Structure 1
Amino acid sequence: MRLRIVVLFFVLAVGFVLAPRAAAQSPIVVVSQSLDMRFPRSMRFNIETKSNTRITVLRLTVWQNGVAVGARYSPAFAPSQHVRAGYNWSFQSLSEGGYLPPGTRGEYTWHIEDDAGNVHDTPRAAYAVEDRLHTWQTLSNDVVRVSWYEGDAAFGAAIFARALSAREFLAKQLNIQDIRPLQIFVYASKQDFFTALPPFSAEWTGGRMFPEYGVIMINFAPENSDWGMRATSHELSHAILHSKIRGTLGDLSVPHWLDEGLAVYNETSDHAPDDQFERMFQLAVLRNTLIPLRKLEQRFPADSEQAQLSYGESYSVVKFMIEKYGAEKFAALLNIYEKGAAPDDGLRQVYGMNQDELENAWRDEIGARSREISTARLPTLAPRPTFEVSSPLASPTVLPTASPAPTAEPTRIAQAANPAPDTAVPAPAPALPASGLCGGVVMLSGLVALSALKRRGGRDSER
C-alpha cells in the first residue's frame, strides 16, 4: 500500500511538471524551411508550416554579419491551416532586399501567428551568399580567405601571401587590432566580374570592397598578376581601415588623401611607389604644380592626370609621415580619427600641425617649393561621429609581437528576441553599393586609357 502511494505521488509530481510545458506548446508546426541561392539575381527563403487554425501572419527577418540592423519582410500568402510561402530577396533591387556580395554571411528567422493567437518563432538559421557560376579554388586561414577560379595553385598562393603581408603591416606596424576576417574573390574576366557586381557599376571598375561584410572583389587574370597583387593589397588596406574607423552610420573621418596614400603605401612589402603615379608626381615637383592637400581632403580630381598625381602625392605624404615621424605616431593619428576628430584636429593633437603646416614640412623634405599659407582663420569643423561597431584601436605605445588573433567570424549583431508587430515596415536596406567604391582600384573614369594599358596588360580595369 505504501509503495502504491509513493508511485502515485511520483506520477502526480511528474504530471505537474510536464503539464505546463505541454500546454505551452504551440500547435504551429514548421514542416520545412530552405534557402535557394540564385546569385547574382536573388536568394529565396522558403517555408512550409501548419496549424490547427488558419495561419494569418508570416514574417521573415534577415540579418547580415557586420550590419547593425536586420530587414523584415511579410511575404504574400493566402491564410490557411497549411501554408507554403517564400520571400525572394533580390540582389538587383534595393526595395526587395538589395545587393549582397558573395561571401556575405548572416542569419534569418521566421515569425508565425495563427487565428487562435498562437505564435511560433523558428530558431535562427545561418546562410551564406555564394557565387555558384564558377568552380572556385580556395586558400584560407583564420584571417584571410582567397578564392579564384582561373590559374594554378601558385597563383592563388601568391595572392594569399600578399594579402597576409599587407594585413600584417597594418596589424603590427600600425597596431590595428581585432581585424575581422576578410574574403577576397578574384574574377578572371571583365564579363564575369561585372556579372557579380551590383547593378549599374561603373564600366571602369576594377575592384570593389565591402568592409561591412568583410569582402573584396578584384578583376584580374593570372597574366596580369603584377597589377592584381597591388590591387589586392590596396583594397585590403581600405577594407581594414574603413571597418575600424567608419561605423555603421558614420562617415570615414580620415582625410581622403590619407586613406588613399596609406593604401598605395601598403601595395607592396617594400612600400615602393606605383610607377605611373610616381612619374606624374615627380613631374609635378619639377613644375611646382603639386596639389594642395586641402583640395584632396574630400575627393580626388576627375581628370585622369590630376587623379594620378593625387595618388602619387598622397602616397608621398603618407610615406613621409610614417618614415619621418614613425609608425607609432601614425597609429596614434588613426586612434584619434577613430574617435571622430576632424582632419586638422587629429593632426594637431598628434603632429602639432594642421594640413597646411604638414604639407609645407613634407614639401621641405622632398625639396619642393613651400606653399604660402593664408593667415585667415579657418572655421572649426565639428567632429564627425563614427558609431564604432568594433573595439577601439589599441594604444600605439605597445606594438604586438605577433598578428592579433582574430575572431572566428564577424561579431554577430544583438537583436530583440521577439519580432516587432506585423505593421513594421522593412528595415533599412543593406549599405548602398556606392559605399564600397575604392579610390584606388575602382578609380578614375578614363584613368590610364593610355598609360595604364601597359600595367594592366591592355585590360579595361582600373586601380
Structure 2
Amino acid sequence: MSRLLALLSTVLVLLGTIALPTASAQDGIEVTATDVVNNFPEEVVFRLSAHSEAVIEEVTLHYQILPDGVAAYSRLDFTPGERVQVDYQLKANNPPRSYLAPGAQIDYYWEVEDGAGNKLTTDASTFVYEDIRFSWESVSEGDVSVYWYSGSSSSAESALVVASDTLDEMSTLLGATVDYPVKVWFYDSYEDMLPVLVKRSEAHEQRVIVLGERVASDTILMLTDEGGDVLRHELAHVVTHVAGEGPYGSLPTWLDEGTAMYAQSEPGDSYTSALESAVKRDSLLSVRSMTSPTGDASKVSLFYGQAWSLVDFLVETYGPAKFAELFATFKEGSTVDNALLEDGLEDAWRASLDLSPRERPTPAEDQVSEASPTPAGQTDTAGDADEDEFPWGTAIGLVAAGGALVGVILLG
C-alpha cells in the first residue's frame, strides 16, 4: 500500500496569497497583475490590474467551485479608465449562495473589454482554498486523502484504512462509483472545526455539537477523536450522494441517514434503545414524517434508530441488488405517489417487528381536492408482493428533500 506523507504548509499558503504571472497583451489590452488572497475564514479575494489604449469598460470574473458548483460569473463595479484595478470577494461561508470547504478547488479566468471593442480573455487558473490556521500533514491511498495537524501519523493511517474500506464496501452495496478524490480533514476540537462547518443559525450552533459532516461531495470534516463509525457514517454519505442524488431528485432523509447508519460497525446503543422502546409502546415515527429531517431534538435518537432499522430491513429482506435499484431510481428523478412507497414500506417493516399496520386516515379524509380518482378495477398490489420484491411495487421514485438532523450530537 503506497502512501504519501507530506507537509502542506508553504510560505505562500501561510501568507494566504498566491501571485500569478502577468497575462500577455491581447488586442490592445494588457493584464499587468493578478493575484488571489485567502482571507480565511471569511472570503477569497480575486484581484486584477489591467490597462489599455482605450477606456476599459467591463471586467468579468468567471469561476467554478469544484466538484459541486456550477459555472458562475460576476461583472465587477469599477470606474472605467485606461488603467483599472478590480477586486472580487467570494464569500467562503455564505450559504446558500456560496460555501468553500477546506481543499476546495476554484477554477477561474478573467475577461476584460474596452470601449474600442477589444476583448482579452486570460488563461484558466486554479486556486485551492486552504485552512491556513494550521500546518497540515496528509496521507493518501488511491483517491482518498486524510489531513491532520494534531495527533499521530499512525492514527491518520488507521483512518485512511477505514475510509478506503468503507468507500469500497458502500460502492459495492449501492452499485455506484465515486470517480473523484475524497478528502477527510481531522480537527482537534469542535471550536477549531466550527469556522469551516456550513454556517447555520446561532441557536443551532449553540445546542448542536457536530462530530463529523460531509460538507461537499468530496469533503468530510471530522473531530480527531471521532474516527471509526462516525467516519464510516460520513463516508457512506459520499456514496449515497453519487448513487441516489441527481439533477431531478434527491434522497428522503430516512434512506440517506439509514444507509449511513447501516455502514457503521453497529448503529449505537442510544439509537437501538430508542427504537426498542418505541416498538414496545407502538410509538414509532411514521415513514412519511421521516422524508425530511426532524426538528424535534427529543426524537433524534429514534429517527436515527428507525432509519437504520428500515434500511437493515430492506437490505436483509430484498437483497443488495434491489436496494441498489432503489437508489438508481431516485437518481433518475422518477416521481410517483409517495404514499405507495412510504405506506407500503411501513406496513411490511412493521410486520417484521410484529406490529400491525399503522392506522391512517380514510381516503375521504385524506383526499386532496384535485387528486385524480383511481380507475375502476385498479388495486394496490403492495400487500400481494412476492417476498423477493419490494412491497411498494413500482413506486420507488419518490423525490424528497434530504438534509442534516438537528440534535444534541449530530452526525451529518
TM over 0.5: yes
Q: Deviation at 1:30?
A: 1.9
> What secondary structure does 1:50 align onto?
strand
Change (3 A) 1:373 1:113: closer
Q: Are 2:316 and 1:312 equivalent residues in the alignment?
A: no
Aligned to 1:338: 331
2:215 corresponds to which of 210, 213, 228: 210
Q: Deviation at 1:340?
A: 1.5
Aligned to 2:392: none
Change (3 A) 1:436 1:342: closer
Aligned counterparts of 2:254 and 2:359: Cα–Cα separation in 1: 20
RMSD over aligned Cα atoms: 3.0
Per-residue deviation, residues 360-404 of structure 1 (Å, max 9, x unmatched): 32233233444345663776999xxxxxxxxxxxxxxxxxxxxxx
Aligned counterparts of 1:149 and 1:27: Cα–Cα separation in 2: 48
Q: Is the 8 A contact 1:211 1:436 kept in 2?
A: no
Q: Deviation at 1:285?
A: 1.8
Q: Is the 8 A contact 1:138 1:147 kept in 2?
A: yes
Per-residue deviation, residues 53-78 of structure 1 (Å, max 9, x unmatched): 33222221111223463332233433
> What secondary structure does 1:83 align onto?
strand
Q: Are 2:363 and 1:365 equivalent residues in the alignment?
A: no
Per-residue deviation, residues 176-233 of structure 1 (Å, max 9, x unmatched): 1244322221211121111223444531141332345x22222x23xx33xx422222
Q: Is the 8 A contact 1:91 1:100 kept in 2?
A: yes
Change (3 A) 1:160 1:437: farther
Q: Deviation at 1:86?
A: 2.2
1:260 corresponds to which of 257, 262, 268: 257
Q: Is the 8 A contact 1:255 1:343 kept in 2?
A: no
> What secondary structure does 1:259 align onto?
helix
Aligned counterparts of 1:73 and 1:63: Cα–Cα separation in 2: 11
Q: Is the 8 A contact 2:190 2:209 kept in 1?
A: no
Give the letter for the 1:168 counterpart. D
Q: Deviation at 1:111?
A: 0.7
Q: Is the 8 A contact 1:288 1:369 kept in 2?
A: no
- The higher radius of gyration belongs to 1
Q: Is the 8 A contact 1:211 1:243 kept in 2?
A: no
Higher strand share: 2
Q: Is the 8 A contact 2:56 2:84 kept in 1?
A: yes
Moved more, 373-382 or 135-144: 373-382
Per-residue deviation, residues 412-431 of structure 1 (Å, max 9, x unmatched): xxxxxxxxxxxxxxxxxxxx
Q: Deviation at 1:336?
A: 1.2
Q: Is the 8 A contact 1:235 1:438 kept in 2?
A: no
Aligned to 1:58: 59
Q: Are 2:212 and 1:183 equivalent residues in the alignment?
A: no
Aligned to 2:381: none
Q: Are 2:154 and 1:150 equivalent residues in the alignment?
A: no
Aligned counterparts of 1:436 and 1:136: Cα–Cα separation in 2: 32
Aligned to 2:32: 31
Aligned counterparts of 1:281 and 1:81: Cα–Cα separation in 2: 70
Change (3 A) 1:42 1:169: same
> What secondary structure does 2:99 align onto?
coil
Per-residue deviation, residues 137-157 of structure 1 (Å, max 9, x unmatched): 212234222212111012112
Q: So what's the TM-score if we normalise by structure 2?
A: 0.76
Per-residue deviation, residues 328-387 of structure 1 (Å, max 9, x unmatched): 010111111111234766x97xxxxx43232232233233444345663776999xxxxx
Instruction: Please list, as runs of the form range in 1=range in 2, the aligned pairs for 1:62-81 lying within 5 A after superposition.
Output: 62-67=63-68, 69-81=70-82
Where in structure 1 are there 5+ consecutive unaligned residues?
1-23, 349-353, 383-434, 448-460
Change (3 A) 1:35 1:437: farther
> What secondary structure does 1:156 align onto?
helix
Change (3 A) 1:343 1:303: farther
Change (3 A) 1:141 1:357: same
Q: Are 2:280 and 1:289 equivalent residues in the alignment?
A: no
Q: Is the 8 A contact 1:238 1:438 kept in 2?
A: no
Aligned to 2:124: 124
